[in-house]
Amino acid sequence: MHPCHICGNEISPALLRCRYCGSEQERLEGDISATKVFVRKTVNLEQGLPTVEQALQRLQQEISAARLERVRILTLIHGYGSSGKGGVIRKECRKKLDYLSRRAEIKEFIPGEEFNRRQGTTKQLLSRFPQLAEHPHLNRHNKGITIVVVF
């Protein structure tokens, strides 16, 4: 297994396309350090049906890991909740991201419902990271995700 050079998810070296983000993979010869720097990684905070506290701990761990792995963009899947009003994990994750943003621990975050080409923040993000134009959630107004820009 090795990480996809776009999203950072683990994939088989035999695959020519990442099964998570669909990006074409380079054939590696020899050293795995020849891969490109990670750009984007998807993290499912709902996996395993965590408590809110567990989801927030994982959020913090994934942001720290992203810095170490030089991941620049995290796509957080936190879900929208079954109530139709937005779930507790979603609300608390966004509160935590707002706090981390104000403390300059992350550069910024974009709620999934605002992650579209017409939004100024997304336009700026697409100019810095053109490969995000192929992000599966772009222009989908998905309230169950949040895009995080890591320093």
Note the pLDDT tens digit of each residue in 100-147.
Answer: 999 999 999 999 999 999 999 999 999 888 889 999 999 999 999 999
> What's the whole-number mean pLDDT along residues 27-39?
48
Task: Work out the angle between the directed axes of helices 52-69 and 88-102 (0-180°, nearest 10).
Answer: 40
pLDDT for position 36? 47
Q: Based on the domain organization, do 128 and 84 belong to the same domain? A: yes
How crowded is residue 14: how many other Cβ atoms within 10 Å of its Cβ?
A: 6
On whether both 69 and 83 belong to a single domain, the answer is yes
pLDDT tier, 31 (very low <50, low <70, confident <90, very high otherwise) = very low
Claim to verify: residue 24 and residue 74 sit in the same structural domain: no
Residue-wise pLDDT for 76-91, tens only, equals 999 997 766 668 999 9
Per-residue pLDDT, averaged over 52-59, amounts to 97
**Same domain for 62 and 20:** no
Same domain as 67, residue 12 = no
Question: What percent of the chain is modeled with pLDDT above 70?
Answer: 79
Quick check: 46 and 82 in contact, CB under 8 A?
Answer: no
pTM: 0.74
Which pLDDT value is given to residue 147? 97
* 109 and 67 within one domain: yes
Question: Domain containing 4: what range?
Answer: 1-36
Same domain, 6 and 42: no
